Amino acid sequence: MKKKKRLPPKISLAFSLVALVFGVMLFSILSAGLIAYLLIKLGIMDMGGKASPSRAISVMIYISIFLGVVIATLLSRRSVKPIRDMMKATEKVSQGDFSVVVNGSFVFELDALAGSFNKMVQELKGIETLRSDFVRNFSHEFKTPITSIRGFAKLLQAGDVDDEEKQEYLNIIVQESERLVHLSTNVLNLSKIESIEIISEKKVYCLDEQIRLAIVMLEPKWSDKNLHVDIRLEDGIEILGDKNLIQQIWVNLLDNAIKYTNAGGVIKVRLCRSGQTAVFRLEDNGCGMNDEVLRHIFDKFFQGDTSHSLAGNGLGLTLVKKITKLCEGTIEVQSEPEKGSVLL
């Protein structure tokens, strides 16, 4: 059986300061008394005469002050070491070094401060990683359609293509242009949503009607794949919120389900009441996701399909998560590979 490592006891900052001051005073007085006694015994200091008591006291005071300064200087260097370490670590973090770690202290407050600092550095490191990934992925997603448009435009410019090839190249250029527009719109929407803290424009509207409208809007997509959409929406469910903002949730979720469901598959759309809460459920029998994909599904530009064989930019579910949180709602995804996904 493995023994638990005993942690050293922690003391409060106030207690440590009081103990330090008291210890310095006590040690200084005792040391001064001992030194005075030795000086008298050695005959270096004569206590005879009328002024001897006052002279002895003066000598003890001088010695106590001197020793107190020396001892306080030595102990203070050790006492403020955690603070100096924190200052050095802060300087490194300000220069972009997120690998620094501050050691704990026997003082409770300083130990808690070190723990919070280390946690903050880890969070900053994660944010920096996400920022780098965002720039890299955005550059890739933006560059790919531009490269494609330029390539096919040059082929058309050359002029040695027949009418069928010309039409095919034009269709690709239009598709890639629409992809750029969609990417730019999502980035702008995400930027706008991230700057919103409170939804001010709210009104009561029928939620089931809004979801039906989103399904109808996407009818060309699910019809092309011959998907069966099983719709069971409870009537008359009203919600107070920003209608245009919440509409983006249903469009992105349904579009994602259609994209990852195989041709001839089934998508189930459910809406019901649970007390004062509206519960939406979207289920498909598509390719599903493993645990690694599920952990990053709401990250910016993350796509479970690393081959990029499916159109998308990895911002749809990020938008959904942001809007849901803004509307004080929750979102959860359950999925297994080859067994489809359920979104609640």
How far is 309 from 80, CA to CA, in rounded Å? 58
Q: What is the pLDDT of residue 309?
A: 46
How far is 28 from 35, CA to CA, in rounded Å? 10
Per 3-state DSSP, what percentage of the chain is helix, strand, and coil (rounded to 5)?
60, 10, 30
Q: For the domain bounded by 203-343, which CATH number is listed? A: 3.30.565.10
Q: Where are the alpha helices (H) located in 80-159, listed in sequence order?
A: 81-94, 108-158
Q: What is the pLDDT of residue 5?
A: 45
Q: What is the pLDDT of residue 2?
A: 41
Q: What is the pLDDT of residue 271?
A: 92
Residue 270 CA to chain centroid, in angstroms?
A: 31
Instruction: Write down the domain spans for the chain.
Output: 13-79, 136-194, 203-343
52 membership: H or E segment, kind and range: helix 52-79
DSSP state of 47: -
Q: What is the pLDDT of residue 20?
A: 65
Do 136-194 and 203-343 fold alike per CATH?
no
- Residue 228's φ and ψ, nearest 5 degrees, are -100, 120
Q: What is the pLDDT of residue 10?
A: 59
Residue 138 CA to chain centroid, in angstroms?
A: 19
**pLDDT tens track for 229-244:** 999 999 888 888 888 8
Residue pair 134/300 in contact by the 8 Å Cβ criterion: yes
Q: What is the pTM of this model?
A: 0.53
**pLDDT tens track for 240-299:** 888 888 888 898 889 888 888 888 889 999 999 888 888 999 998 888 888 878 887 877
Q: What is the pLDDT of residue 308?
A: 45
Handedness of CA 34, 40, 41, 44 (dihedral sign): positive
Residue linked to tokens 């992809």: 179
Q: What is the pLDDT of residue 240?
A: 86
Provide the residue-wise pLDDT of the chain in tens; the chain has 344 residues.
444 444 455 556 566 666 666 776 777 767 766 776 776 677 666 655 554 566 666 666 776 677 667 766 666 666 667 777 888 888 888 887 878 888 876 666 677 778 888 888 877 777 677 667 666 766 777 777 888 888 888 888 887 778 888 888 888 888 888 878 877 777 777 777 766 666 767 888 899 999 999 999 888 888 888 999 999 999 888 888 888 888 888 988 898 888 888 888 899 999 998 888 889 999 988 888 888 788 878 777 666 655 444 555 567 788 888 888 888 888 888 888 877 788 87
CATH T-level fold of 136-194: Helix Hairpins (1.10.287)
Q: What is the pLDDT of residue 7?
A: 44
The residues that bridge with 272 in the sheet, in sequence order, are 279
Beta strands per DSSP E along the chain:
203-206, 228-233, 238-241, 266-274, 277-284, 333-335, 341-343
**For the purposes of burial, counting CB atoms within 10 Å of the CB of 334, is it exposed (0-12), middle (13-18) or buried (19 or more)?**
middle
